[in-house]
Chains A and B, each alone.
Chain A
Amino acid sequence: MRPVAVIGAGMTKFGRSEWPLLKLMNVASLAALRDANLGDVKVDGVVVANMGAARLNKQTALASALADSLNLLPAMAESVENGPASGASAFKIGYQAIASRMADVVLVTGVEMMRAVNNLEATDFVASLTHPEAEYIYGVTLPALAGMFARLYMERYGITREHLAMVAIKNHANAMKNPYAHIHQTVTMEGILTAPEAVVNNPPIAEPLHMFDCCPVSDGAAAVVLATQEIAEKLGRPIVRVAGIGQATDTHAVHERPDPTELTAVRLAAQRAFAMAGLSAQDIDVAELHDAFTILEIAESEEVGFFKKGEGHKALAAGVTSLVGKLPINPSGGLKAKGHPVGATGVAQLVELTWQLRGEAGERQVESAKNAFACNFGGFGNNVVATVLTREG
């Protein structure tokens, strides 16, 4: 195994795209390639992360299309579908290709165009990852699983809807400083919880979760360029090294987990990533967690080891996870406000962390970040990829 670095990062603005799928991929990929500034060095691998283009956009074999469009032929290329963890899975495959000497430079692009269909169809598309016989047939969707998880979690640990709202308020505030975010809207406790009109502004989606506890449905693409450390060193920029990657699976049907409030795959993926990096949760300076639902940011912040079980909401309330806190979580705005084009999300998390580690995150820059962590949560936690990036020097 040889060291691998992120040498380029780019993305499209998340939201509703007027572009076709291929153009979305092109724009994010070209931004990452320009950022990498490779000169004569060739890209010899392409990995595309996507969950639903076959169904949503009637398009398949996206990596082959992208390699051709970007004049990267005859690079090897493949598309990866791993539910909402597709992005970090594709990144992992790109890492493996370079670490194992099968490639020197790999472009990893994540993309999803979910607004090509109506909301019902988009919800059903994501719900198709649930267990077909034991969950899907009952009308179970991802928000439904999150609602049942939240009710149990909140009861057990004394978390209130006010704590959930704090996640939304924080992440929307961060997204205001991110030009790529889907939603630029300041959210207040009055507006979504305490004022009389909050009932209208913030309707229930899956009790106890309301609209402002759930990520929007987004289009978007994000891309990174990975290369050997040797190539990275010649570029004369701060080196962002891929320090650790960990992945773990869990039961398909959520009800089969011994304790349904535990996200075991999150815990194991993080442990594996930290072990590979030779670091611990306490070494992390900035994190992107998979807040498809507000409760998940709190639960993941505990499972990955930032806080003890049942204490994540206290750290949140104390401001520890705010942009100026000791451990900023989701400086990009998270899935909650930056948006969640499912195949792009895992890559977009790593784009944000690359910018953070290089000191290029503008108004949302976390001060002197050296070690960064991402959790890309697939299914309802049945396939999770954790990544640790480190700035060298």
Chain B
Amino acid sequence: MDEKVYGARCKDCGKETYPVHARCPECGSEALEPIEITGEGKVLTYTDLYALPLDYERRYLRLAIVELDSGLRATGQLLDEKPKIGKRVKTTIGVVRQSGDRKIHGLRFVPV
């Protein structure tokens, strides 16, 4: 199992995106190369989700959109007891969902 999260960089215009598109959202090029989604950033917004989806057994799930210093944004789980808009966090990778025996890895943001 791949335990990294990848976006894409356009080889023609340099635009970085996450998630990956089939064509660059900026210039339409199909020449894209993978980039790892990693680093520090700040919380753009977050929620505590009490109406839990399938596969989760806990009281609530804390989810966030984070703006990375590279300018890319990503949605992921937020592991922070005191969340706040604008707070500095960094990416880590962990199991974000377990569906039957299948463990799905993804972004888990933790305070810097």
Contact = CB atoms under 8 A, between A and B. Distances in A.
B112 interface: no
A205 B77 CA distance: 17
Contact of B76 (A138, A205, A256): A138
A140 B75 contact: yes
Given A123-B53, A147-B49, A253-B19, A138 B85 contact: no
Nearest to A126: B53
Nearest to B76: A138
A136 B32 CA distance: 24
A144 B97 CA distance: 16
A311 interface: no
Contacts of A151: 45-47, 85
A121 interface: yes
B63 A139 contact: yes
Nearest to A135: B75
Contacts of A205: 49-51
Which bucket holds chain A's interface residue count? 35 or more
Interface string A221-260: 0000000000000000000000000000001111110001
Interface string A326-345: 00000000000000000000
B49 A137 contact: no
A139 B47 CA distance: 12
Interface string B40-58: 0000111111111111100
A124 B54 contact: yes
B61 interface: yes
28 contacts: A120-B54, A123-B51, A123-B53, A124-B54, A127-B53, A134-B19, A137-B96, A138-B63, A138-B77, A138-B96, A138-B107, A139-B49, A139-B53, A139-B55, A139-B77, A144-B63, A147-B49, A148-B45, A148-B46, A149-B45, A152-B44, A152-B85, A204-B50, A206-B47, A206-B51, A254-B65, A256-B17, A260-B65
Interface of B: 17-19, 25, 44-56, 60-61, 63-65, 73-77, 85, 96-97, 104, 106-107
Interface of A: 119-121, 123-124, 127, 131, 133-135, 137-141, 143-144, 147-149, 151-152, 155, 203-209, 251-256, 260
